[in-house]
Amino acid sequence: MMVLELNMWQENIRTFSAIKEEPAWFLEERLKALELSQKLDLPVIDRVKFHRWNLFSPAIGMGDSLILDIPTQIRTDIGAAKIVQLGSVSYWEEMKAEVAAKGVIVTEFFNALEEYPELVKEHFMTKAVKMDEDSLAAYHRAMMNSGIFVYVPKNVVLDEPIESHFVQNSTIEEAFVKHVLIVAEENSSFEYIERFESVGEVKNTANIIVEVIAKAGAQVRYTAVDSLGKSTDTYFNRRGYLGRDAKIEWALGVMNDGNVVADFDSELIGTGSHSEVKVVAISTGNQVQGIDTRVTNYAKHSVGHILQHGVILDKATLTFNGIGHIIKGAKFADAQQESRVLMLSEDGRGDANPILLIDENEVTAGHAASVGQVDKDQMFYLTSRGLSEDDAQRLVIRGFLGSVIAAISVESVRKTLIDMIEKKLGE
């Protein structure tokens, strides 16, 4: 990057930081990360060529862009708490009184930085994702322009979900650099539901990092439905950092229309920690999606399971890399994975790439992977009972993706994912 361009990036960051009245340490880390972003390599996503994508942009904005046309899909009901962000503005924050009384925090990130600085400083990009991992993590730390902070105190159990809805503003040129920081203290238990979508067709970049810090005994159920727009090149990084006997159950619906590279990772740090990762993805048109799903067993008796199912139409590309890594010392660990891709087009490209890295004895590990067409026997059976070929194919696909759909406990969110699947299949 030329010195003139670097100065422009620095000036944009300083202006944004001043508007947000960020503490000096936060700005210093931004500027340090900007320099790192020019030196570090891109993350490695095997078998996916994304080096020419639009993943870096100086358009940090001023933190005040608000989408005026509110998407009709935004639900108005509330569980334990709900936050809606339109563009880079928090449009709506609500929490039930009895939930707030338990010390739960669900708020806009910069508000949390002002009101709970020690909590943010302790957990933000210090454990799960660190800014010196690669150029996209460093770029994120430098240019992050919106996000939320969720904090559930020790021993707090929530019977209703915390929900978020994020809408990218692609009616203007503005990078969508969103950070979600979730801290689950010891023995807490709750469900978090997340939705991403876009409004507008201006070409933009999206860089989204989610950190879930699950401390000893914490139980987190994390559900997401992603449907960012066709004009957006997106980098997703969702990372769990699990303490002793902690558990995170991930259910992820990747329904975006633009190009996507994604890291869905779980770090099993504590003895007996457990991660279940379920992913469904559909690629259509000329779209390219590359998804790395990784579970790293650092601790004894830790369990990491990956289940990925994807569908390809048209001339699209979908790559699943399933990575199970058992570190030396993680005796009695369990790492299992299954990645399957269903091809509905002869012009598309699918890849299911299993990787097992085993550095310890006395462990359990296994994998399954396949890329194939719709089962002809299933199609014949369904059409012979009166279903049209299109309806039969949709039913087969629904069954193929059903494991993740069934993992979503909230009916309205389950319906949203089903609707997104139907929309993608109907394009």
Q: Which two tokens stand for residue 404?
A: 């993740």
Residues 35, 22: Cα–Cα separation, whole Å:
19
pLDDT for position 241? 98
Reported pTM: 0.96
Could you tell me the residue ranges of all domains in the chain?
3-374
Beta bridge partners of 239: 211, 265
Q: What is the pLDDT, as a whole number, of residue 427?
A: 58
Per-residue pLDDT of 189-240, as tens digits, reads 999 999 999 999 999 999 999 999 999 999 999 999 999 999 999 999 999 9
Bridge partners, 249 (sequence order):
221, 276
Going through 298-348 in order, the beta strands assigned E by DSSP cover 303-312, 317-326, 334-343
| C-alpha–C-alpha distance, residues 63 and 18, integer Å | 11
pLDDT above 60: residue 4: no
Mean pLDDT across the chain, nearest whole number? Answer: 94
pLDDT of res. 2 = 43
- Provide the β-strand partners of residue 83: 93, 164
- Locate tokens 């991930």: which residue? 250
Task: State how far the Cα of 189 lies from the Cα of 187, in Å rounded to an integer.
Answer: 7
Using pLDDT thresholds of 50, 70 and 90, give the confidence band for residue 271: very high
Phi, psi at 242, each rounded to 5°: -110, 130
Whether the pLDDT of residue 3 is over 60: the answer is no
Name residue 36's amino acid.
L
Using the CB atoms, write b or e for 179-205: b if 16+ within 10 Å.
bbbbbbbbbbbbbbbbbbbbbbebebb
pLDDT reading at 359 higher than 50: yes
| DSSP-derived 3-state class of residue 207 | strand
Distance CA 135, CA 346 (A): 35
Mean pLDDT computed over 168-194: 97
**Position 24 pLDDT exceeds 50:** yes
Q: How far is CA 154 from CA 67, 91, 379, in A?
A: 37, 29, 51
Count CB neighbours of 132 within 10 A. Answer: 13
pLDDT tens readout for residues 147-165: 999 999 999 999 999 999 9
- pLDDT value at residue 85: 96
- The CA–CA distances, whole Å, from 407 to 190, 242, 250, 332, 401 equal 15, 20, 9, 26, 11
Exposure string over 79-110, b if 16+ CB within 10 A, otherwise e? bbbbbbbbbbbbeeeebbeebeeeebbbbbbb
